[in-house]
Amino acid sequence: MRRVRDSIRGAGFGFYVGLAVLAFPLGGCAGLFGDDKQTILPDEPADKLYNEGLTLLNQREFKDAAKKFEEVDRQHPYSEWARKSLLMSAFAYYEIGEHEQTIQAARRYVTLHPGSSDAAYAQYLLASSYFDEIPDITRDQARTERAMQSLDEVIRKYPGTEYAESSRRKLEVARDQLAGKEMMIGRYYLERRNYTGAINRFKSVVTQYQQTRHVEEALMRLTESYMALGIVGEAQTAAAVLGHNFPDSRWYKDAYTLVQAGGQPRENKDSWISKAFGIKPKES
């Protein structure tokens, strides 16, 4: 699914302005040399190309700006201008949703300049490009997993930056997406009375994605699945844990109704469900 890129623009604004003020005045145009029949264009000054790229950015001609920055890198490789231009091209491509080009440019920047003060922003652009292409839960979630890995890298490598904070918020959304995928498959199994398969999916939500909004329903579906299998004790535990942690949840009412036939919800502290919520078993 496409995601709004407001956090990128907000986080990257200071970076963009900072690079803009570093630009030198435009250099004079290089003249042509040779005779009229065989004119050869020399490399243009790096600062001239860079400033032309900035002008195109200000005019919101992002694709043309990216090409201009790439030209800096081509004509003046390994220069300071090339370093700045590589990141600016990633930024320009991101603005028009060209995520593959953004990822390539940002990854190259991080590889070539890992110690740069702008490496955090490059890594953030890379992670956000994956994040913006997270598909809906009916599709394969490999892109979501890559987004999570890249976002986690921002948080781990650059913990004190504004990009880390934004990455944490995006990471929560990505985790919720994966939990939603597990829930969808679990419901599919439940509807077809494949209760063991359903339990495995709901269990992954409870153990791996406990902080997402799906955990309440997962506990209720575990109650439903265990009752269908006649494993009343686990069903009661799931309902009891649901009631203890989410007493106002609408799912608790359904779970409570399901287990009434086997008695009141009672929590077995030796159950994996209790342990998943940090409840210690009784000492013998």
Q: Is the pLDDT of residue 4 over 50?
A: no
Confidence band for 34, pLDDT divided at 50, 70 and 90: very low
How many percent of the chain have pLDDT more than 70? 82
Per-residue pLDDT, 96: 97
Residues 161 and 206 in one domain: no
What is the 3 state secondary structure string of 212-225?
A: CCCHHHHHHHHHHH
Residues 211 and 135 in one domain: no
Q: Is the pLDDT of residue 28 over 50?
A: no
Choosing from 121, 149, 178, the residue where a domain stops is: 178
Confidence band for 247, pLDDT divided at 50, 70 and 90: very high
Please provide the size of the chain in residues: 284
Q: Tell me the CATH number at 68.
A: 1.25.40.10
Per-residue pLDDT, 264: 66
* Residue at token pair 């579906």: 221
Per-residue pLDDT, 270: 85
Cβ-count burial 246-269 (b if 16+ within 10 Å, e if not): beebebbebbbebbeebeebebbe
Q: Is the pLDDT of residue 5 over 90?
A: no
Residues 21 and 134 in one domain: yes
Tell me, yes or no, whether 244 lies in a domain.
Answer: yes
Residues 21 and 162 in one domain: yes
Residues 143 and 257 in one domain: no
Least confident of 92-96, 214-218, 248-252, 261-265: 261-265
Identify residue 116 by its one-letter amino acid code: S
Per-residue pLDDT, 15: 56
Choosing from 154, 178, 202, the residue where a domain stops is: 178
Give the model confidence (pLDDT) of 273-283 as tens digits.
Answer: 988 988 655 44
Choosing from 152, 178, 204, the residue where a domain stops is: 178
Number of C-beta neighbours around residue 20 at 10 A:
14
Per-residue pLDDT, 263: 65
Tell me, yes or no, whether 184 lies in a domain.
Answer: no
Per-residue pLDDT, 260: 83
Residues 110 and 54 in one domain: yes
Tell me, yes or no, whether 71 lies in a domain.
Answer: yes
Residue 215 belongs to what domain range?
193-276
Residues 161 and 259 in one domain: no
Residues 49 and 12 in one domain: yes
Residues 143 and 220 in one domain: no
Least confident of 123-127, 129-133, 139-143: 139-143
> Considering its fold, how many domains does the chain have in total?
2
pTM: 0.77
Residues 19 and 148 in one domain: yes
Per-residue pLDDT, 201: 97
Residues 61 and 126 in one domain: yes
Per-residue pLDDT, 268: 81
Taking the CA atoms of 230, 236, 239 and 245 in sequence, report the sign of the dihedral they define. negative
Per-residue pLDDT, 26: 42
User: Over the chain, what is the mean pLDDT?
Assistant: 86
Instruction: Name the maximum alpha-carbon separation found in the chain.
Output: 99
Per-residue pLDDT, 217: 97
Grouping H, G, I as helix, E, B as strand and the rest as coil, residue 171 is: helix
Residues 106 and 50 in one domain: yes
Mean pLDDT of 247-260: 91
